[in-house]
Amino acid sequence: MTKKQKKVLWRIIATAVLVAVVKLFSIGGVAGTVLYLAAYLIIGYDILRKAFRGIIKGQVFDENFLMAVATVGAIALAVYEKSGDYLEAVAVMLFYQIGELFQSYAVGKSRRSITALMDIRPDYANIEQDGKLVQVDPDDVAVGSIIVVQPGEKIPLDGVVTEGSSTLNTAALTGESLPRDAAVGDEVISGCVNMTGVLKIRTTKAFGESTVSKILELVENSSSHKSRSENFISKFARIYTPAVCIGALVLAVLPPVVRLVMGLSGDWGTWVYRALTFLVISCPCALVISIPLSFFAGLGGASRAGVLVKGSNYLETLSKTRVVVFDKTGTLTQGVFDVTGVHHNTMPQKKVLEYAALAECASSHPISKSLQRAYGGEIDRHRVTDVQEISGNGITAKVDGTDVAVGNSKLMDRLGIAWHDCHSVGTIIHLAIDGQYAGHIVISDVVKPHAKEAIAALKRAGVEKTVMLTGDIRRVADHVAEELGVDEVHSELLPADKVAQVERLLSNADGKLAFVGDGINDAPVLSRADIGIAMGAMGSDAAIEAADVVLMDDDPLKIAKAIRISRKCLRIVYENIVFALGIKGLCLVLGAMGIANMWAAIFADVGVMVIAVLNAIRALQVKNL
């Protein structure tokens, strides 16, 4: 509990004690009045101050104004009727503050679920100087530096392990407690906790561009993106509050005036009391507080599950997803390519791999990496000149002065080179030397362990269609789609073709469309889809920047969980809207008729708010979704 919350709690206790003393000892007269007014000022002085400031600033109609008018009016009515009973006025303020304290605690709990991620921010990085470890600010570590991470320390920057092996705790990033092994050559991301061995890591990104910085930026900005429901409630409150104030004024004045015209007693006290009850009932706290809290709790629950949603508007869109489109490589497959076959004409196998690896040495594509691994020799870039990358086709270059073309069948057709068909399942890389076909290399990608389960989980979550887009050849794409149970597949696509396919699917979709990708080529499609989902752990910065939702552990199974979280959150929002408006509407009618008194009004305001807040924080519970 914060210092401010403790202060409010003590004021609540002090007020309750004063009221109890007055009632238990039946203190009346001047003494009773003084004690009641003291209790009222103790519990309500801040509400009165906020209401007065609102009037001065021209921002009159809010819950503070309603509470102030209702309670001051109740005190004035007690004075007018000479009843000396100010309990209702004190009780309205007392229970309102109890509700506010409860709401503050619930918001704090939701906020802590998100800001707990701030613990992943590293305080320092270890640099070895003269045989000693020196702690420096992570911002001061240059790309390419060697840092040392000891057991129990956070990895401060993204990089590659150059020495040592260990297990890493990724729970703060992914929500998963299962540790991951790290050894020489493995990429590691900032924010993980080193559990066992000492690691030396060569940094690959500056701190401002590291995974941990990106996550913190996403979390800090998530509350600025409001959902349609939140915007509606804000606009609703601006219209609703003045309307009920006018309604209360009419209720207080019109019936007595009509009675006087009819020759009857005005009975002003009764109608003013009903109007004050009407004001307390109409306070929009339950809606204004519980709706944003529901979304905030939903964002917090998602972050605890390793799913970062950039705002409540994206959470709302995600809940309406009916079509999920995947880019194959890196999302449904691991994006780790291995050479599984080399078919050559007269040239030796080793030479085929050497030409292919050298020609591709300037590329960062996973296929290029796999060719270089398969070759296994030293890559001397001075041997390579005139490199030209043809998007969606491949690469042409000169290796030792020899013209080399490495790519798919489209590249061979483009160059007018006859190529041999291959019936192997995998990506086929064709090679031509000096305009003559030299053979082809079979490279296979591996399906992710949870990919098939992820597709099935999406169907159970209510997704009507799953689609896979890939630049791979049709035979490989169809094989993967059939293995995973994907509904629709489109292969041999260029980046522009993927955008066109998404445009077509958007025009035909009954509901929202989500696109899942991880590569830099996916950024345009991620931006075009209704909701873009990026693989965060190994995805490109461009994809993460363009996406609306980021999966921190690259597990496609989390997509269905994210959808279920969003739908639970929206269900809670609608429950609170219907419940709050229903109870308040009923009590307003009963209050106007004189059936509901001030105690019923307290329940309609504070009771409804507490129930709505309790319901809202259920959005934090996502473990079993």
In this structure, which amino acid lies at residue 184?
Answer: V
Q: Which residues of 71-98 are buried (b: 16+ CB within 10 A; e: fewer)?
A: bbbbbebbeeeeeeebbbbbbbbbbbbb
Tell me how crowded residue 132 is: count the other CB atoms within 10 A of its CB: 8
Q: How far apart are CA 406 and CA 395, in angstroms?
A: 5
Whose tokens are 């059939």? That residue is 482
Non-local (6+) Cβ contacts of 625 within 8 A are 305, 561, 564, 565, 568
> In sequence order, which ranges of 82-197 are alpha helices (DSSP H)?
87-115, 171-174
Q: How far apart are CA 561 and CA 525, in angstroms?
A: 22
| Region label for 282, one of left (φ > 0), alpha (ψ between -120 and 50) or beta (otherwise) | alpha
Please identify which of the residues 62, 327, 445, 605 carries the catalytic annotation. 327
- Asked if 290 and 296 touch (Cβ cutoff 8 Å), the reply is no
Q: How far apart are CA 171 and CA 162, in angstroms?
A: 24
Non-local (6+) Cβ contacts of 89 within 8 A are 36, 40, 71, 72, 74, 75, 78
Encoded tokens for 170: 């990724």
DSSP state of 152: T
Measured CA angle at 482 (ends 479, 483), to 5 deg: 85
- Asked if 570 and 316 touch (Cβ cutoff 8 Å), the reply is yes
> In sequence order, which ranges of 58-186 are alpha helices (DSSP H)?
63-81, 87-115, 171-174
384-390 and 394-399 beta bridge pairing = antiparallel
Encoded tokens for 164: 């040592």
Non-local (6+) Cβ contacts of 236 within 8 A are 284, 287
Decide if 327 is catalytic.
yes
Q: Coil, strand, or helix at residue 485? A: coil
Whose tokens are 């061979």? That residue is 412
**What amino acid positions are annotated as catalytic residues?**
327
